[in-house]
Amino acid sequence: MAVLNNRSEKTKLENIPLKPFLHELNSKIPWGFISVALALVFGFLAIYQAFFQQKRPAISIEILSNTSILDVKEDVAGLDIQYDRRDIRKANESLRVITVRVENTGKEDILKSFYDSRDPFGIKISKGKLIEEPTILAASSDYIRKNLDPKIKDDNVIQFSDIILEVGQYFVIKLLLLHKRDGSPPTIEKAVGTIAGLQTPTILEMPGEKPKKSLWAQAFSGSYLVQVIRFICYFFGMIFAMIFIIAPPAIISDALSKRRRKRTIEDYKLGTDIDLNEKDNFLLKRYIEYGSTYVLRIERLFDNSDLLNSLCRKVNEKSKEMGSSVVTERDDILAARLEDRVMDRSIIMGDRVLVRALLKNEYILKKSNDKYEVDDHAKQLLEDFGNYLRKRKLISLKESFDHSSIEMIQ
């Protein structure tokens, strides 16, 4: 009993019909073309990343602040401002603090082996003199804070020790400068020193400004996890976009086509001389649902007795193996999906599904000695309805030829 109940439940699940609009959408969207296009696009991107995209370190030097310490705009008698026993106000000089952030914004870690010991990496100041050793305000790791060791060279150059600076790591330093009060204030002129693979570092004058990246750099920026998430979002986003673009026209077109076919059936019923019965609704309703393809496939089977008997025997054998001969709405959909497809293995599978439906609705009758024949009334109805469709040019000669030529591959 448990086995029978499980089989019954399975049959119920198999009998759940597919939604018509999903079937229509699946048949009209060129999934094969989409798959090939996606494979080519992402294959190209993978090859580009693996063989052509260069992983290089890159350093950005960002000026976070550039502030004057002294701002005396009027001469005040008896006011002296001294630094290192010098009256810098009388010398027409001023003090300025510059805060600088240095970060590895590239795609590769900077290792100790990347530095040239004869040309240390550092920063050069323009229009100012460094008067105190730089102070480390912040760093992305304790290692950087302990080992950076910034030193002043030639009053306007700061040199750093050869530290490991991984991708995304940074440090922030404070510089105290003495400069002429007249004229433009001091700033970062350029980076100095040599690091293997490093192009000219980007100097950002304004706080919050980000280095400009090329189109390809923006397309492939981010970690591998970011790339994976981006791929998933873009892939399904494109699929959903195509569905939303294609689905409405497909659904509207299908609804209009079914409406026209329904009117065709109404006109046929009014004009035919055949005495229609309940069993005839099998053909007429499926014409409304799936169009002339269904009619053409039945015609081809009825016109080829050998093919019909061969398929009927195979269906019967398969039904005995499965323990069921139930024909579901899903079977009709599978048969109807094979529209205008020639030289395709699934044509044969579709014929077997179609034969199961014809046997269930008694369009095909089993005789003695495993012989199968078409019901006379069904044959008369199919011939009359087919002629009516051709008379109204609802089945073209090309369609008839295409479906008849399928017999050559059975």
Question: For the segment 261-276, what is each residue's pLDDT rounded down to a tens digit?
Answer: 999 999 989 988 888 8
Q: What is the pLDDT of residue 165?
A: 93
On the question of pLDDT at 201 being above 70, the answer is yes
Q: What is the pLDDT of residue 345?
A: 38
150 or 183, greater pLDDT: 150
d(CA 94, CA 69) in angstroms, rounded, equals 8
Max mean pLDDT range (15-19, 143-147, 224-228, 350-354): 143-147
Q: Specify the range with the lowest mean pLDDT, choosing from 67-81, 335-349, 351-365.
A: 335-349
Q: How many CB atoms lie within 10 A of CB 332?
A: 22
DSSP per-residue letters across 250-283: HHHHHHHHHHHHHHHHHHHHHH--S---GGGHHH
On the question of pLDDT at 24 being above 60, the answer is no
Indicate whether this model's pTM tops 0.75: no
On the question of pLDDT at 16 being above 80, the answer is no
| Strand 135-139 versus strand 82-83 pairing type | unpaired
139 or 45, greater pLDDT: 139
90 or 2, greater pLDDT: 90
d(CA 264, CA 370) in angstroms, rounded, equals 37
Candidates 117, 116, 122; CA nearest to 100 is 122
Query: At 26, which helix (H) or strand (E)?
Result: helix 20-28
On the question of pLDDT at 217 being above 90, the answer is no
pLDDT band at 122 (very low <50, low <70, confident <90, very high): very high
Query: At 324, which helix (H) or strand (E)?
Result: none
Q: Strand pairing partners for 101?
A: 62, 172
Instruction: Give percent of the chain above pLDDT 70.
Output: 67
pLDDT band at 335 (very low <50, low <70, confident <90, very high): very low
Helical residues (DSSP H) of 174-223, grouped into ranges: 215-219
Are residues 140 and 169 in contact, defined by beta-carbon separation less than 8 angstroms? yes
Mean pLDDT of 29-36: 63
Are residues 126 and 96 in contact, defined by beta-carbon separation less than 8 angstroms? no
Rg of the chain, C-alpha, whole Å: 41
On the question of pLDDT at 240 being above 50, the answer is yes
What are the residue boundaries of the structural domains of the chain, listed by start?
59-72+80-212, 272-409
Q: Mean pLDDT of all residues in the chain? A: 75
Max mean pLDDT range (27-36, 42-51, 201-210, 221-230): 221-230
On the question of pLDDT at 300 being above 80, the answer is yes
340: which DSSP letter?
S
On the question of pLDDT at 344 being above 50, the answer is no
Instruction: Give percent of the chain above pLDDT 90.
Output: 17
Max mean pLDDT range (39-53, 131-145, 220-234, 394-408): 131-145
pLDDT band at 185 (very low <50, low <70, confident <90, very high): confident
d(CA 311, CA 31) in angstroms, rounded, equals 30
- From the number of C-beta atoms within 10 Å of its C-beta (0-12, 13-18, 19+), residue 331 rates as buried
Give the CA diameter of the chain: 130
Candidates 94, 93, 95, 97; CA nearest to 65 is 97
Place of tokens 């100012």: 128
